[in-house]
Structure 1
């Protein structure tokens, strides 16, 4: 699994995920969710292929992919925390590539 994002930036930046909302974006083939660095909103996208790899027996429709996200939320949020470095970037992708 590879997390694509800002390689440069601050160390020890804290991002929180108080909002449990997530949506499936069929045009981008991903599930989107949001984190917050103080008042700044940061978007994260987890591609469908990664969600399918987390649960190979799942379907590929929206409800199945959102269910996989929900079952693996803690793991995905951990990847997002490790990925986020602060700085001006406001969108990060979590993918298998």
Structure 2
């Protein structure tokens, strides 16, 4: 099967310092996390004064194609969930 992302939902997980999203391999749900640091080149780019959650979700939306590509690579490499994507995975 192929990993797909039919649901554009994502959520901020402040406890883990990440954004959560889900992919699907057939009928199997595959959970992912993207570290906050992977969403911007520096803390200044994340503009925490604007509200960290909103800023991180906006950054996720901007990088969505790259994040989905990185998630697909990580999943195809055999990593299992929840898979955490870092800056090294996305860049």
Under a length normalisation based on structure 1, what TM-score does the superposition of the two structures give? Answer: 0.77
The structure whose RCO (Cα within 8 Å, separation 6+) is larger is: 1
Which protein is richer in helix relative to its size?
2
Distance 2:42 2:7 in 1: 22
Cα RMSD over matched residues? 2.3
- Indicate whether 1:22 and 2:10 are aligned: yes
Residues matched between the structures, number: 85
Q: Give the gaps of 5 or more residues in structure 1.
A: 1-12
The runs of at least 4 consecutive aligned structure 1 residues that moved more than 2 Å come to: 54-58, 85-90
Q: Give the gaps of 5 or more residues in structure 2.
A: none
Counterparts of residues 1-97 of structure 1 (less than 5 Å) = 14-53=2-41, 56-60=44-48, 61-85=52-76, 89-96=80-87
Following superposition, the deviation at residue 56 of structure 1 comes to: 4.9
Aligned partners of 1:44 and 1:93 also within 8 Å: yes
